[in-house]
């Protein structure tokens, strides 16, 4: 009889190592290495943090997790500098695409569009039942 119970990544490590190569071969025709790397950058002004960005590079795709700039420092190029730093690092490591999600109607939409990101999907009633937009930029 099948039983489903709570587990941890540590408990499932051996199972995953044995089974993922079969799934990779089915999906990609070969075993692949996802090469997951995470990056976090900060922007400072007079030793005070005024912005930060976090991303994860996985299988050639940079996922931008978050970008935030101090409310009294917006419009000064901080977000652009942080995004470009993350993109540059990801490109050097072989990224072929950048991907992010932001709220529909947020100021961030125009910001990302100026940086070359294109909307590809709407996530209806996503976080806190608000609509979000998926953006991507191909390199």
Higher pLDDT, 35 or 74: 74
What is the per-residue pLDDT for 35?
87
What is the per-residue pLDDT for 72?
97
Give per-residue pLDDT as tens, 62-104: 999 999 999 999 999 999 999 999 999 999 999 999 999 999 9
What CA–CA distance (Å, rounded) separates 30 from 14? 20
What CA–CA distance (Å, rounded) separates 16 from 1? 22
CB 100 within 8 A of CB 92: no
Question: What is the domain partition of the chain in residue ranges?
Answer: 37-138
| Section 126-139 average pLDDT | 97
| Section 25-50 average pLDDT | 96
Superfamily of domain 37-138: Gcn5-related N-acetyltransferase (GNAT) (3.40.630.30)
Residue 45 tokens read as 């002004």
Sheet containing 37-45: which strands, arranged edge to edge?
A: 37-45, 48-58, 61-69, 97-103, 132-138, 118-123
Give per-residue pLDDT as tens, 110-122: 999 999 999 999 9
Residues 6+ apart with CB under 8 A from 68: 51, 52, 53
**pTM of structure:** 0.88
DSSP assignment, residue 103? E
């Amino acid at each position: 009889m099948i039983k489903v119970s709570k587990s941890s990544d540590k408990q499932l490590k051996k199972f995953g190592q044995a089974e993922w190569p079969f799934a990779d071969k089915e999906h990609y025709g070969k075993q692949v290495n996802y090469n997951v790397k995470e990056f976090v950058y900060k922007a400072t002004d007079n030793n005070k943090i005024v912005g930060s960005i976090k991303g994860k590079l996985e299988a050639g795709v940079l996922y931008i997790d978050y970008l935030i700039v101090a409310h009294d420092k917006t419009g000064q190029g901080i977000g652009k500098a942080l995004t470009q730093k993350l993109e540059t690092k990801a490109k050097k490591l072989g990224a072929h695409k950048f991907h992010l999600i932001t709220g529909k109607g947020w100021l961030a939409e125009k910001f990302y569009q100026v940086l070359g990101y294109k909307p590809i999907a709407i996530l209806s009633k996503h976080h806190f039942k608000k609509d979000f937009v998926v953006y991507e930029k191909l390199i």
